[in-house]
């Protein structure tokens, strides 16, 4: 029985070895893509700081591995064959992926861990980034990798350790830690009020109301139950992000409706002013969303404790 099992294993081992023989090396891919860019082995060698003969050997070995001509030799120039044109995109993707992976590892530097964070763009720009230096001071062993993400994170396929989103973005297999309730305020450039007092709802409608394209009902919710014509409420330029709306409001384009926590720095600096005394709670909450695989990890716990403390400090 043992002899029979051994005979079954042999063909499998041979098949694995045959597959590996067809996989190009990194140096072969580099030589191929450089030749595709320059059209000659001489210039490719100059780019890669190799000899022309080394480039020619790599190219010949690669074509032998694949069993296909990747270039046509036309008047001492290398012109991609149809097979080479197909292979070029994939080869460049592989090299770019390796480059990205290498830089990702290098980002560790002297850190013990990398914390990969997905965060709503406007929250990141207007609130989080200004405070991250304080987290680095208390946790220098953790390197941060922050990505702006407008849509929910799929932690099964996306390589994030946590996200800061609204609670409705919580997905299956995740845990949401509520951070703060979302409160909206109406803001505009100081010159729009001409030094006057904040406006009532009727006066607001005499100004352009800047619209948030990914949340198009916010102004309708603000004027809910007032009996006002929706056609007047929805007039105004549209923008993807709240920080774009604040920039447009600051440029004098109209009145924006944005989360108070995001508007706070611009209000404190006087770049924007409150266009209305009203504050409107949307019923939504900003939350720290954790996949099951990172709950309880030391870097995540350290960031969670710091984030809650920062929010509590105002």
In the chain, what are the domains? 2-106 (1.10.10.10), 110-314 (3.40.190.290)
Query: Cβ neighbours of residue 12 under 8 Å, at least 6 residues apart?
Result: none
Q: What is the pLDDT of residue 161?
A: 95
Both tokens of residue 177? 């830690």
At 229 the pLDDT is 77
Instruction: Look up the pTM and report it.
Output: 0.65
Q: How many CA atoms lie within 13 A of 102 on its CB side?
A: 6
Is residue 167 pLDDT above 80, yes or no? Answer: no
* Digit-coded pLDDT (tens) for 56-113: 999 999 999 999 999 998 988 999 999 999 999 999 999 998 888 777 666 555 556 8
* Nearest C-alpha neighbor of 244 from the set 145, 141, 148: 148
Residue pLDDT, tens place only, 15-60: 444 457 888 999 999 999 999 999 999 999 999 999 999 999 999 9
Supply the pLDDT for residue 17: 46
The pair of structure tokens assigned to 262 is 């995001």
Q: How far apart are CA 237 and CA 213, in angstroms?
A: 9
Which tokens belong to 51?
A: 């000899």
Structure tokens at 70: 């990747």
Look at residue 211 and give its three-state secondary structure. strand
State the sign of the Cα–Cα–Cα–Cα dihedral 65, 69, 71, 74: positive
């Amino acid at each position: 029985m043992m002899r029979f099992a051994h005979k079954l294993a042999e063909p499998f081992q041979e098949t694995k070895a045959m597959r590996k023989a067809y996989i190009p090396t990194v140096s072969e891919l580099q030589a191929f893509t450089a030749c595709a860019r320059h059209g000659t082995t001489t210039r490719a060698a100059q780019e890669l700081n190799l000899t022309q003969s080394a480039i020619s050997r790599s190219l010949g070995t690669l074509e032998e591995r694949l069993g296909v001509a990747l270039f046509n030799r036309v008047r001492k120039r290398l012109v991609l064959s149809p097979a080479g044109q197909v292979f070029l995109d994939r080869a460049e993707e592989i090299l770019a992926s390796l480059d990205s992976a290498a830089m990702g590892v290098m980002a560790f530097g002297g850190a013990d861990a990398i914390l990969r964070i997905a965060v709503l763009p406007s929250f990141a720009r207007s609130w989080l980034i200004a405070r991250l230096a304080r987290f680095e001071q208390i946790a220098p062993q953790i390197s941060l990798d922050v990505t702006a993400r407008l849509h929910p994170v799929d932690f099964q396929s996306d390589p994030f350790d946590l996200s800061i989103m609204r609670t409705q973005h919580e997905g299956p297999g995740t845990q949401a830690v509520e951070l703060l309730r979302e409160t909206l305020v109406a803001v505009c450039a100081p010159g729009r009020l001409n030094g006057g007092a904040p406006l009532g709802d009727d006066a607001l409608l005499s100004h352009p109301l800047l619209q948030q394209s990914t949340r198009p009902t916010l102004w309708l919710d603000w004027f809910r139950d007032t009996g006002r014509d929706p056609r007047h409420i929805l007039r105004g330029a549209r923008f993807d992000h709240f920080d774009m709306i604040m920039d447009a409001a600051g440029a004098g384009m109209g009145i924006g409706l944005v989360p108070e926590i995001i508007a706070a720095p611009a209000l404190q600096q006087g770049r924007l002013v409150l266009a209305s005394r009203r504050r409107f709670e949307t019923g939504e909450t900003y939350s720290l969303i954790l996949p099951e695989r990172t709950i309880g990890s030391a870097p995540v716990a350290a960031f969670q404790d710091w984030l809650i403390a920062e929010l509590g400090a105002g």
